[in-house]
């Protein structure tokens, strides 16, 4: 497995970030519809948050660069009762990576010990989101409809792309060992949260424990 190179930056002076709402419209085909026979009057629907952010580290950010394309960060969660995911939400501190796109994935998962695991098959069609260039904070809220049966799942966000020009400029600066220039040339910054999470490479099913999270929350309805 390739070496992890997520960049965590803590700014010396904390700046108050006022979040500008940005609603992402995601066109997702219907899938895993819950049959009518499965939802009866005996099942009580309860609104619930399935994944929480964790504790915010003030003025800190998780930075993704073109070199992180394909990398994922997410959480392993155990679903004990039928759960319908209805909303994903996250915030971006800034994006100076033209053509930036991310993907929300929901996998079946196998738990290992507290520091390992494996991602299995995808539960549903991934949700692709374009992140516009913006030096100001932005909030994303994505409506969806994904049914989870009881079991273990890995729910993650992956960096999936940037413009060809941005990738070439970043690679040129990196190859010339202009690390600072490469870092400032194309990056996507998320707020950093202290929470035990798991990272995954695009070419591997192995999950590796990391102690930070980018603040992806998942909410919906639990049927009891």
What are the boundaries of each domain within the chain? Answer: 7-11+43-223
Q: What is the pLDDT of residues 123-133, one digit of tens each?
A: 999 999 999 99
- Is residue 170 a contact partner of residue 39, using CB atoms and an 8 Å limit? no
Which architecture characterizes domain 7-11+43-223 according to CATH?
Answer: Sandwich (2.60)
Is the per-residue pLDDT at 12 higher than 50? no
Query: Cβ-count burial of 83 within 10 angstroms (0-12 exposed, 13-18 middle, 19+ buried)?
Result: buried
Residue spans of alpha helices (H) in 55-163: none
Cα separations in angstroms, 161 against 98, 131, 165, 206, 221? 9, 10, 12, 22, 32
Q: Which residue has the higher pLDDT, 113 or 173?
A: 173
Average pLDDT of every residue of the chain? 84
**What confidence score (pLDDT) does residue 119 get?**
96
Give the sheet arrangement for strand 138-148, strand by strand.
Answer: 20-21, 138-148, 83-92, 217-223, 45-51
Q: What is the pTM of this model?
A: 0.80
Q: How far is CA 11 from CA 61, 139, 171, in A?
A: 8, 21, 25
Chain-centre distance of CA 53, in angstroms?
11
How far from chain centre, in Å, is Cα 99?
Answer: 17
């Amino acid at each position: 497995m390739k070496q992890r190179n997520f960049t965590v930056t803590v700014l010396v002076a904390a700046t108050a970030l006022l979040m500008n709402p940005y609603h992402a419209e995601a066109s997702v085909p219907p899938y895993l519809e819950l049959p009518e026979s499965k939802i009866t009057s005996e099942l009580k629907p309860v609104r619930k948050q399935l994944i929480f952010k964790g504790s915010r580290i003030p003025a800190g950010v998780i930075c993704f660069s073109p070199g992180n394309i394909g990398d994922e960060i997410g959480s392993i969660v155990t679903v004990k009762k039928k759960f319908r995911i209805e909303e994903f939400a996250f915030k971006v501190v800034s994006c100076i990576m033209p053509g930036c796109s991310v993907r929300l994935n929901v996998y079946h998962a196998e738990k290992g010990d507290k520091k390992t695991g494996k991602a299995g098959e995808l539960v549903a069609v991934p949700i692709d989101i374009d992140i516009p260039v913006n030096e100001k904070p932005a909030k994303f809220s994505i409506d969806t409809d994904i049914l989870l049966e009881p079991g273990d799942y890995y729910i993650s966000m992956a960096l999936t792309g940037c413009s060809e020009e941005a990738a070439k400029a970043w690679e040129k600066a990196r190859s010339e060992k202009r690390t600072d220039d490469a870092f400032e040339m194309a990056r996507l910054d998320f707020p950093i949260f202290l929470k035990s999470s798991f990272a995954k490479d695009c070419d591997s099913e192995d999950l590796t424990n990391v102690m930070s999270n980018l603040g992806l929350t998942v909410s919906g309805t639990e049927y009891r």
